[in-house]
Structure 1
Amino acid sequence: MIYTDFKETLSANKPPAEASVYLKALWYDGKGDWENAHELIQDLPDKNAAWIHAFLHRKEGDIWNADYWYRRADNSRPSVSLEDEWKQLVQAFL
């Protein structure tokens, strides 16, 4: 699957069955369902989950919390738009 294919799945009622938990979280976020996205990712202990968790808190406007999660992911808050970061995340996990 490529990015445009993933974007097209946003018209469906549920995420692609073969999608990883990371992509499922991004899928829910892409559908405007921040709560489900956050629920899927918040308790995962790895750096990939921390990156998505950081993005979700950045999107929420909780910058202090976002920066904490970016550090946990060994990243820093990007200067790109939220849309561009979402695309980067999706592409990283496809």
Structure 2
Amino acid sequence: MNTEEFIRLIEKQRPCPETLPKGLQAMWYEKKGDWSKAHEILGNASDADSAWVHAYLHRKEGDLYNARFWYQRSGQPEFLGELSQEWEQITSVLLRKVNATDEC
């Protein structure tokens, strides 16, 4: 599955598959406009991908101090471009890591 297919599934108003990794679940809900649900999903996640998404969420929130903490935990550099570009970058990387074709 690529980013465009992922976005089409989001737009179809289908619920997010709980079998997706937490980072992708969070990106799903964030794209649907539910920042709180996205953040909640990452509450107990400790992997680097989830930390990267967590950084993005706090950057979107405007909390750059907290975002920088999560970028460090993720091992990813702080993103300086548009939020939409970062969403696409993170999502495409996470989708490549998982074969989500059967998940949705």
Q: TM-score with structure 2 length normalisation?
A: 0.83
Determine the structure 2 residue equivalent to 1:68.
69
Equivalent positions of 1:52-91 (< 5 A) are: 52-91=53-92
Counterpart check, 1:32 vs 2:33: yes
Determine the structure 1 residue equivalent to 2:22.
21
Kindly state the Cα deviation for residue 18 of structure 1 after the two structures are TM-superposed. Answer: 4.6
**Distance in 1 between the 2:18 and 2:64 partners?**
32
Structure 1 residues 63 and 40: CA distance shift in structure 2, 3 A: same
CA contact (8 A) 1:42 1:53 kept: no
Q: What is the Cα-based RMSD across aligned positions, in Å?
A: 1.3
**Distance in 1 between the 2:78 and 2:91 partners?**
17
Work out the number of aligned pairs and report it. 94
**Distance in 2 between the 1:76 and 1:2 partners?**
23
Consecutive unaligned residues of structure 1, counting only runs of 5 or more, are none
Kindly state the Cα deviation for residue 19 of structure 1 after the two structures are TM-superposed. Answer: 2.6
**Distance in 2 between the 1:25 and 1:75 partners?**
17
CA contact (8 A) 2:22 2:42 kept: yes
CA contact (8 A) 1:42 1:49 kept: no
CA contact (8 A) 1:21 1:41 kept: yes
Q: TM-score with structure 1 length normalisation?
A: 0.92
Structure 1 residue ranges, 4+ long, deviating more than 4 angstroms after superposition:
none
CA contact (8 A) 1:9 1:16 kept: no
Consecutive unaligned residues of structure 2, counting only runs of 5 or more, are 96-104
